[in-house]
Structure formats: structure tokens, C-alpha cells
């Protein structure tokens, strides 16, 4: 491979070349930085590019590789969604209110990647505070879908998915509260995993909805996803919601057949889906069957239609509480010319937050306010129990579920910005997974008119391994994940 094409590599391909001494991390990192220079003006996937830091880290990685001390991630360029705090590197969360915020510590995932020898090339664009499904809610600029620059990359981790699809990094980490890793992965033709709640530390993940948020990898294939999970998964004393369940070596699950696995196809996830997307899924399911899986067609999750309203009560309620910390006193934007302390706080938040964040703060505050708590928040928590019970029942019969990731292919910029409810519908297939706290993996499954379609695999709590096995086997039989956008 020519040195200037190195940016196209996956983690496992790059690792092999690095340890053989055929390329250096500095060469690989330069190639990725040149790629960013070549396409970033059109894609706009980065809020911050950390070129100097990346080259320093690459030089250090090369020393480590020469010393025979390389991990699978040593010397490999990564982008982090700008919701993950990085010590000494501006972290904006896509918001004016944090436009000049420079964290004083690293998120646990950032620290673990650094210890593994990762090379940070920059911070990914995103919907403000991870609220959105198109990355159009970024306070700075929208990201474009590399497959069609007039369309959205999905969101909220749109900058991370677009960067991986455009080869502006070898992999990325995003965050997923209602689909924010999986939906942009689907729309950009990359692999995206939402791990089980409690599997990956949230320490240093700027909080949106704490009972739903989870960090996950965006990668070029399933093997890479397993390699990243091996590093970021596991308990963390700084996040008491991480669970002390042993982390398996996820590469153990990368076997090319599905014999003995039962996969359910829940009808509720195929209602209201773009017909061509449904067609792609039908073909993909036949491939899974051909690999030895038994397909169960009559699995039902009857409360699926209640997941969207349930989510849009719980997530904004938690957000309204989490975002109360932005008061203009300790960090972030602050309005100085106020009449009194309350006026200062209200104007700081008025000018610091964008429209979607305000809408969700208002919605959550309403749902939690005296007189409405029982009808909205408590009701939603009870419905959450019913949605979880649907999955529990389904997983008595099957090992995983197969659904579309997104009900449509990528939509046009501006198409859904005027109607919040229509935008919220973008996540109908992914939201139930966060509500139940289980895991979901999106893998490239085909195209409709040149636009990518993702297949979502939903698994039992802490059974990411089975999802990786299914995704890996599928990728041995298909080549959708190898297609690259014509940039």
C-alpha cells in the first residue's frame, strides 16, 4: 500500500503493518492528517483538529512499537466526539456555552486509549449536548454525509461517523443516549456499537441523560469494534454505575458462522420503515440464515410504539437536571451585564444554549414539575418497565434481534429541522435499546440509491460478544462495509 493511502486502513490492518515495521505511526498519522486537509472543508466532521499533539503521540508510539511494547491500538489515529473530556484540549459539547472550555482531566475512555498508545487527531462535531439526530444542532456548523454532501450524517455523533466514513481517522468514539452512535453509523456506512449500560465508564462523558448515556466505538469493521471494546470496557472506580462483570476478550467471538444461534425478527420494528430499507433487511436476514442462524419470525415486542414518548419524557427530564450546572459561575459562557444574580443565570442560559437544548430543558422541567410528575415522569418510568419486560420475554426465545437501525436512509439537510417530532422519529428503532439498557450494534447492510442502510443487532445485557459474532460472520459473507464514499 502506498504511504499516502494509509488513511484507508482499519485498526487491525494498520497494527499488522506497524508491528512488522513496514510503516510507522508518524507516516500513518501524517496520511490521516493530509486526508483531513483534503476533505474536511467538504465534510466538516471536526470541531478541533489536534495535528501537533497527534504527531508527538505518533513519535512516542513508534518508540513503543520498536521496543516491542505495542497494543492493538498503539500508534493508530482516533477521533473522539467532543462530548468526551480531554485534559488540556478544548471540549465544547457542540455548544456555545462550552465554546472555550478546557477540561482539567481526561475521561476514563480517553485515559485508557492514551495508555494503550492511541494517537488523538481531533474532536468530533456533534449535536449540541448530544441532543439531535442529524448534527444540525451543532452550535458551530453542520457535518455533511460523505456519501452525499447535501444530506445529514445522522446524529448526534455525526462528526465521528462521518470522519470514519471519510477516512479522516481510523476509528472514533461516540456516545449513544437514544441511538447517537448507531443511527449515524448506519447513515454513513460504518460499524457502531452501543454497549450495555454499565459496560463502559461514563466518567468524563459530559452528561445528557445519565440513566441512558453510554460511550461506544465507531469503526470501519466489526473486528476493529472488538479491539476497541477490549480497551474501553470494564469497571471504573470513578463511575459507580460500571458493573464488575469480567470483560471477555471480544476477539474470541469473531468466528465466521452462526450455527446454533436463534435470531428474532420483531414485526414492530418493520412498521413505518421506508420500503427499500425493509428490502435491504430482508436480503440481509437471508444472508444470516445462510450462515447457519435459525430465524424466528414471530417474535413480538408489543410496547415498542410507546418507546418514543417514554424516551422523550425520561431523557429531557434527566437533561433538565444535568444541565442545571451551566450557571455561568464555575466554567463556560457567562453573561456579565446582568441586573442581579437570577438575571445573570437566565441570560447566560438564554444566550449559551441553542434551540433544541432549550426545548428539552423546558420539556423535562415541565415533566418533573409539581402536578405533572405522576402523569409524565412516573408514567414513563412505569412504561420503561414494560419495554424492558418485552425484551426479557423475547430473549427467552432468541439470542439476538435483527432490525433496521434507522427507518430511512440519510435525509437532506434542513428537511426535519422545522418539526421536532419528525426529527425525534429518526430514532424509533434505536431508542428501546437505551430504555432497556441492553446492547445494540449497527453494521452496514446495503444501499438504497447510493445511500447506506444499517442493520441493527440487539442483544442481551452484557452479551456484546454475540452481536460481534453475528456482525463479523455477516461481514465475511458481504462487502458493504468495504465500500467508501466517492469523495
Partner 1 sequence: MRLSREEVLHIAWLARLGLDEAELERFREQLSNILEHFQVLQELNTDEIPPTAHILPLEDVMRDDEPQPSYSLDDILANAPRREGPYFRVMAVLEE
| Of 156, 150, 122, the residue nearest 137 (C-alpha) | 156
Q: Which of 19, 55, 64, 105 binds partner 1 (CB under 8 A)?
A: 105
Tell me whether residue 120 or residue 436 sits nearer to partner 1 (CB atom).
436
Which residues lie across from 218 on neighbouring strands? 172, 192
Given 95, 157, 160, 180, the catalytic residue: 180
The site for partner 1, by CB under 8 A, has a size of 67
For residue 101, state whether it binds partner 1 (rule: CB under 8 A). yes
Q: Which of 35, 81, 194, 349 binds partner 1 (CB under 8 A)?
A: 349
Give min distance, CB of 420 to partner 1, in A: 6
Q: Which of 41, 260, 336, 486 binds partner 1 (CB under 8 A)?
A: 336
Give min distance, CB of 362 to partner 1, in A: 5
Give residues 228-267 in contact with partner 1 (rule: CB under 8 A). 237, 240-241, 243
Residue partners of 419: CB distance under 8 A and separation at least 6: none
Give residues 407-436 in contact with partner 1 (rule: CB under 8 A). 420-421, 436
- Cell readout for 48 is 478541533
- Cell readout for 428 is 424509533
For residue 206, state whether it binds partner 1 (rule: CB under 8 A). no
Measured in degrees and rounded to the nearest 5, phi and psi for residue 61 equal -60, -40
Residue 156 designated active-site: yes
Tell me whether residue 231 or residue 423 sits nearer to partner 1 (CB atom).
423
Q: Please, is 337 exposed, middle or buried when counting C-beta atoms within 10 Å of its C-beta (0-12, 13-18, 19+)?
A: exposed
* Cα gap 478→358, rounded to integer Å: 43
Query: Which residue in the block uniquely carries the three cell numbers 439498557?
Result: 437
Q: With contact defined as beta carbons under 8 Å apart, do 450 and 259 qualify?
A: no
Q: Which residues of 243-265 are buried (b: 16+ CB within 10 A; e: fewer)?
A: eeeebbebbebbeeebeebebbb
Give min distance, CB of 278 to partner 1, in A: 24
Residue 317 designated active-site: no
Q: With contact defined as beta carbons under 8 Å apart, do 168 and 6 qualify?
A: no
For residue 350, state whether it binds partner 1 (rule: CB under 8 A). yes
Residues engaged in binding partner 1 (CB under 8 A): 100-102, 104-105, 197-198, 211, 237, 240-241, 243, 303, 305-306, 309-310, 312-313, 320, 324, 327-334, 336, 338, 340-342, 344-347, 349-351, 353, 355, 358-359, 361-363, 365-366, 369, 376, 378-386, 388, 420-421, 436-437, 461
Catalytic residue numbers read 81, 156, 180
Amino acid at each position: 500500500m502506498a504511504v499516502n493511502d494509509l488513511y484507508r486502513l482499519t485498526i487491525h490492518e494498520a497494527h499488522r503493518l506497524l508491528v512488522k515495521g513496514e510503516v510507522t505511526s508518524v507516516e500513518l498519522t501524517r496520511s490521516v492528517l493530509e486526508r483531513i486537509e483534503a476533505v474536511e472543508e467538504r465534510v466538516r466532521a471536526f470541531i478541533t483538529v489536534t495535528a501537533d499533539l497527534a504527531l508527538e503521540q505518533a513519535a512516542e508510539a513508534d518508540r513503543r512499537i520498536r521496543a516491542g511494547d505495542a497494543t492493538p491500538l498503539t500508534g493508530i489515529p482516533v477521533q473522539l466526539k467532543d462530548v468526551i473530556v480531554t485534559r488540556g484540549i478544548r471540549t465544547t459539547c457542540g455548544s456555545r456555552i462550552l465554546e472555550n472550555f478546557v477540561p482539567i482531566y481526561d475521561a476514563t475512555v480517553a485515559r485508557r486509549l492514551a495508555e494503550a498508545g492511541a494517537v488523538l487527531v481531533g474532536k468530533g462535531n456533534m449535536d449540541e449536548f448530544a441532543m439531535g439526530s442529524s448534527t444540525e444542532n451543532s452550535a458551530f456548523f453542520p457535518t455533511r454525509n460523505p456519501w452525499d454532501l447535501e444530506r445529514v450524517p445522522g446524529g448526534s455523533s455525526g462528526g465521528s461517523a462521518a470522519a470514519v466514513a471519510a477516512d479522516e481517522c481510523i476509528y472514533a468514539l461516540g456516545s449513544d443516549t437514544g441511538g447517537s452512535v448507531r443511527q449515524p453509523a448506519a447513515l454513513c456506512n460504518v460499524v457502531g456499537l452501543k454497549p450495555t449500560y454499565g459496560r463502559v465508564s461514563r466518567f468524563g462523558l459530559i452528561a445528557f441523560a445519565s440513566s441512558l448515556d453510554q460511550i461506544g466505538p465507531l469503526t470501519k469493521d466489526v473486528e476493529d469494534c472488538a479491539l476497541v471494546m477490549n480497551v474501553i470496557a470494564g469497571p471504573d472506580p470513578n463511575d459507580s454505575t460500571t458493573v464488575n462483570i469480567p470483560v471477555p476478550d471480544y476477539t474470541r467471538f469473531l468466528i465466521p458462522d452462526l450455527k446454533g444461534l436463534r435470531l428474532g425478527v420483531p414485526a414492530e420494528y418493520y412498521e413505518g420503515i421506508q420500503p427499500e430499507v425493509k428490502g435491504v433487511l430482508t436480503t440481509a436476514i437471508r444472508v444470516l440464515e445462510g450462515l447457519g442462524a435459525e430465524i424466528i419470525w414471530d417474535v413480538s415486542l408489543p410496547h415498542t410504539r410507546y418507546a418514543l414518548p417514554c424516551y422523550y419524557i425520561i431523557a429531557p427530564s434527566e437533561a433538565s437536571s444535568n444541565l442545571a450546572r451551566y450557571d455561568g459561575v464555575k466554567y463556560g459562557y457567562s453573561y456579565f451585564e446582568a441586573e442581579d444574580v437570577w438575571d445573570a443565570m437566565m441570560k447566560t442560559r438564554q444566550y449559551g444554549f441553542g434551540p433544541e437544548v432549550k426545548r428539552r430543558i423546558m420539556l423535562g422541567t415541565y415533566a418533573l414539575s409539581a402536578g405533572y410528575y405522576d402523569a409524565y415522569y412516573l408514567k414513563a418510568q412505569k412504561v420503561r418497565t414494560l419495554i424492558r419486560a418485552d425484551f426479557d420475554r423475547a430473549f427467552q426465545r432468541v439470542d439476538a434481534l435483527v432490525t433496521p437501525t434507522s427507518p430511512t436512509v440519510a435525509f437532506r439537510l434542513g428537511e426535519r429541522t422545522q418539526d421536532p417530532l419528525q426529527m425525534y422519529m429518526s430514532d424509533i428503532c434505536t431508542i428501546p435499546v437505551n430504555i432497556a439498557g441492553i446492547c445494540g450494534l449497527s453494521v452496514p447492510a446495503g444501499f438504497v440509491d447510493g445511500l447506506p442502510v444499517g442493520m441493527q443487532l440487539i442483544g442481551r445485557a452484557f452479551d456484546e460478544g454475540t452481536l460481534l459474532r453475528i456482525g463479523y460472520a455477516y461481514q465475511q459473507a458481504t462487502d458493504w462495509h468495504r465500500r467508501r464514499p466517492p469523495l
